[in-house]
Amino acid sequence: MRLYFSVIMLVLSTLSAELHAQITAPKFGSGLRIMAQDSSFSMKIGIRFQTLFLGENNLIEDDFGDLSEGDARVFIRRSRLKFNGFAVNPKFTYKLELALSNRDNGGGNSANFSNAANIVLDAWSEWNFYKNLSVRVGQMKIPSNRERVISSGNLQFVDRSRLNSRFTLDRDIGVFLRHHHKLGDTFILKEGFVFSSGEGRAITAANVGGAAFTFQLEALPFGKFQSKGDYIGSAIKRETKPKLAIQLVYDINNQAGRERGRGGSFIVNPTGNFIASDLTNFHADFHFKYQAWSVMGEYANTSADGGPRVFNEEDQLIGTYYTGSAVNLAVGYMFPRNWEIAARWTDVRPDEFVANDEIQYTLGLNKFVVGHKLKVQGDVTYRTIDGGDDEFFYRLQMDVHF
């Protein structure tokens, strides 16, 4: 962390001396804020990290009385730098987010990533060019299951569910056209369309297949949540009136070259040529909050043109797309002193030949000291796997966000 602060202080001192910029830090968790003297640009700098303890056991023949030897680890789950603000005009905004921990920036060990770590998470600029219509360009989160779009620093549980790891659309590089409007006094409707590479973040090689097209429709029938709470886990802000968000996402990934479209391994035949197939993704979710209660539900489905398995000309299996469906449901109750108890149920049903069915039951206990900016989260999960030993794991995490 000392290196992070040294770099930031150097930048701040340079800006202050050369540009006479105003630098403020209103309160813990709000970041360092820079405003040019002539208001021609702004920048907010945020630092956060998550320290995680993880313990795991297999249940031999699904018997709690016969646990395998435990595996325990302590590591930095995430460590990130985030910069966002506007340039020249408040209608032109930007965001840059960097992943710095080893656990957070892996996956670049191939020529498709120039054999480099995937440090850049978000790098986009957005122009609100007409009323409620804006266009975003760069690397960003694609509209997907709500749990994925919620920041990892604002999650209700220590980490996201199995639905997310298997079916999310994740990040991609492309163009995102967004619009919203109000119907009546409270009803808000949002529409989105994304044209992207379809191969995920940090790709530097030529595109294996075609592009991806993502369509989003979201409704808030009772109006806005407090503090953008429709994309924040837990009832941090207690809604005095019921609030609901409903979202539908449809995605066509033409000639997807990776097992999960924008994630997983590339499918390559023995001669080194990439194999691709069309993937279709559908997501539906809702998020409801009222007073101390929060409820979120998600459904995901992925299908591959011609089926999930990929064969070469000699009829040898060379890869499998992860297809099938999953359901995820989470509910939480916030007690007066910002202690929360939460429960989550996740049912993953991969297609035949892809993987085994599994169900996860998770119970969490959270203490929010300064909302999601300073918190301690713990949860225990029991995972049943068809055709294999069940698993039991437990996690404890501290999240600090300056």
**Residue among 191, 202, 198, 203 nearest 213 (CA):** 198
What number of other Cβ atoms are within 10 A of residue 34's Cβ? 21
Closest-CA residue to 73 (of 394, 385, 399, 390): 394
Which among 232, 235, 249 has a CA at the least distance from the CA of 170? Answer: 249
Domains of the chain: 48-76+124-401 (2.40.160.10)
pLDDT confidence of residue 20: 65
Candidates 224, 236, 242, 241; CA nearest to 340 is: 236
Q: Looking at residue 70, what is its pLDDT?
A: 74
Q: Which residues of the chain have pLDDT under 70?
A: 1-20, 60-69, 107-109
Query: What does the buried/exposed string (b/e) look like for 245-274 if buried means 16 or more CB atoms within 10 Å of the residue's CB?
Result: bbbebebbbebbbbbbbbbbebbbbeeeeb
**From start to end of 60-164, where are the E strands?**
71-87, 89-99, 120-130, 133-141
| Phi/psi of residue 269, nearest 5 degrees | -80, 170
Contact of 98 with 117, CB cutoff 8 Å? no
Separation between Cα atoms, residue 212 and residue 252, nearest integer Å: 6
Helix (H, G, I), strand (E, B) or coil at 148: helix
- Amino acid 269: pLDDT: 84
Residue with the two structure tokens 């000291």: 369
**Single-letter code of the amino acid located at 167:** F
Inter-residue long-range contacts of 204-208, CB under 8 Å, 24+ positions, other chains counted = 204/112, 204/113, 204/114, 205/111, 205/112, 205/113, 205/114, 208/255, 208/257, 208/266, 208/274, 208/276
Contacts of 135 (CB under 8 A, 6+ apart): 126, 127, 129, 175, 176, 177, 178
- CA dist 395 and 321 (Å) reads 30
CA-based nearest residue to 330, from 391, 367, 289: 289
The pLDDT of residue 387: 83
DSSP string of 294-342, one letter each residue: EEEEEEEEEEETT-SEEE-TTS-EEEE---EEEEEEEEEEE-TTSEEEE
pLDDT of residue 394: 95
- What residues contact 13, with CB distance under 8 A and at least 6 apart? none
Cβ atoms of 238 and 291 closer than 8 Å = yes
pLDDT, tens only, 68-111: 567 889 999 999 999 999 999 999 999 999 999 988 887 666 77
- What pLDDT was estimated at residue 64? 58
- Cα distances (angstroms) measured from residue 335 to each of 233, 284, 297: 15, 29, 22
**Integer Cα distance of 388 and 188 in angstroms:** 46
Paired with 349 in beta bridges are 325
Give the CA distances from residue 87 to residues 25, 38, 130, 134, in Å, rounded to whole numbers and listed in that order: 20, 12, 17, 15
Contacts (Cβ under 8 Å, ≥6 apart) of 208:
199, 255, 257, 266, 274, 276
For 20-57, the pLDDT digits (tens) are: 678 888 899 999 999 999 999 999 999 999 999 999 98
